[in-house]
Amino acid sequence: MDLAMEVPYVAAANRHAKPVSAAVVGGCLRVLDILPVGLVGLSVYFIYIYSGRGVSTQYLAALLMGVITSGILFQWLGAYDGDFLFSKWLRLNRILLGWGITGFVLLFAAFALKISGFYSRVWVITWFVATAGILSFGRIILSRWILSLAREGRFAQRTAVIGAGEQGEKLAAHLSQVGDARIRIVGFFDDRKTRISLKTGGYELLGDTDHLMELIRRNMIDQVFIAIPWHAENRLRELIARLAMTPVSIHLAPDLIGFEFPDRPVSRVTKLPMFHIFDRPISGWANVSKTIEDWVFAALILLFAAPLMLLIALAIKIDSRGPVFFKQKRHGFNYNLFEVWKFRTMYATMADPDCEVQTTKDDPRVTRVGRFLRMSSLDELPQLFNVLRGDMSLVGPRPHAAATKAEGRLFAEVVDEYAARHRVKPGITGWAQVKGWRGETDSIEKIRKRVEADLYYIDNWSIWLDMVIIVMTVYILFKKENAY
């Protein structure tokens, strides 16, 4: 029987010719990026400098160095990383940045070698400006052309999915949601046709693996995704062995749990592919950098704030009886308990060391001096000693008392990811505080937003982010919202 009659979708599977290779187009684009660097410089040389007595080796050396340096910088700055073909303007910003750095490198080399006077300023300026213009114009035109090809499906690999069960449905749903221009699902194939639906995730069941092999032989399939449960080892081995004899790409789709972590990379551990679920946050040199940052800033702030802290201590003693400092057990890094230091802001007889009741606006337990300290956040200054001791960082998720509740429920009961805040040291200030989630967390929504901000900080930490938070903290200290 004719295959087209057995599998009605064959015509659609062969509607487009073999797809354009994104890798080949990307490789050609890399060459096209460095060609203007050399050709523009050479053209400007022949227009302004060439005298008919031979080409200057100094100018050729500068051109060669420009081509090599720019090519290295384009790669180093990530102009070709990931799906750069489908990015806006083909990452023109990184190309122009690389070309700008190339200019500084060449100028520095010329001054260091004391040969800058040899080169014509007209040639240098024209070369750099014209090259930047041509790179920009070419990038814009090419990006529009490439995106038009992508919309037409010219980059789409004709993809067959083996396995029309739950795993295959999840794979199809994920691919449809992501909308990758390099993948077009032709349909599903499964040897268990009598036990599954003829429609899976909106795609047709085209037949069994024998039909798939025939389509592959007719050059109608470019790649195959095997979406079969991993516990079916014998079946998987047979399929892979059979497909290994064909000229198509073969991919083993993740098992069902893998779809819970779609954005996690696959790394190799002792040559075995494994899902890389989480990294240890702020580790290695990042931890060294943050520790130095904490020590330096905490010491400097203490040095300048010492007179103010003495005045605050005196005001507390005059205003009400009791100790100057308030100490409270809180959970810190890795959920370990530590004693956090603050200036006492409540009457000693009304202090709540376990924070059974959160402080509210116009709370009668708060002293006159305490009210001012809370509004200005000056009550947090003694935590600088916690930073120097290593219990806390200057910036990080704020530590909460163990008994703190929102709407009568413990924070850990409200938000599943709450414990993940303890993967790093707690901080005096943090991303949640500067984003408006400072103060009382009396509702479930507030604590969820705070945890969401804290987890964003942990996943995106950098020295630069810490500096931004510190600057923003100084600004919000002058605001009184949510501080009481």
Model confidence at 355, pLDDT cuts 50, 70, 90, reads low
pLDDT digits (tens, 9 = 90+) for 361-404: 767 888 888 888 888 888 899 999 999 999 999 999 988 776 66
Rg (CA), the chain: 32
Residue pair 324/316 in contact (Cβ under 8 Å)? The answer is yes
pLDDT digits (tens, 9 = 90+) for 252-272: 999 988 888 887 888 888 888
Residue pair 444/409 in contact (Cβ under 8 Å)? The answer is yes
**240 vs 176, more confident:** 240
Strand, coil or helix: 257? helix
pLDDT digits (tens, 9 = 90+) for 99-132: 999 999 999 999 998 888 889 999 999 999 999 9
Model confidence at 12, pLDDT cuts 50, 70, 90, reads very low
Query: pLDDT above 90 covers what percent of the chain?
Result: 41
CA triplet 460, 99, 50: central angle to 5 degrees?
175
pLDDT digits (tens, 9 = 90+) for 52-98: 777 888 899 999 999 999 999 999 998 888 778 877 788 899 999 99
**455 vs 51, more confident:** 455
**3-17+156-275 carries CATH number 3.40.50.720:** yes
Would you tell me how many other CB atoms lie within 10 Å of the CB of residue 33? Answer: 22
Element counts in the chain: helices (H) and strands (E): 16, 14
Strand, coil or helix: 242? helix
Which two structure tokens, joined as six digits, stand for 266? Answer: 């696959």
Strand, coil or helix: 161? strand
Strands 325-331 and 337-343: antiparallel
**For the chain, what are the domain ranges?**
3-17+156-275, 22-151, 285-476
If you average pLDDT over every residue of the chain, what do you get? 85
Residue pair 379/345 in contact (Cβ under 8 Å)? The answer is yes
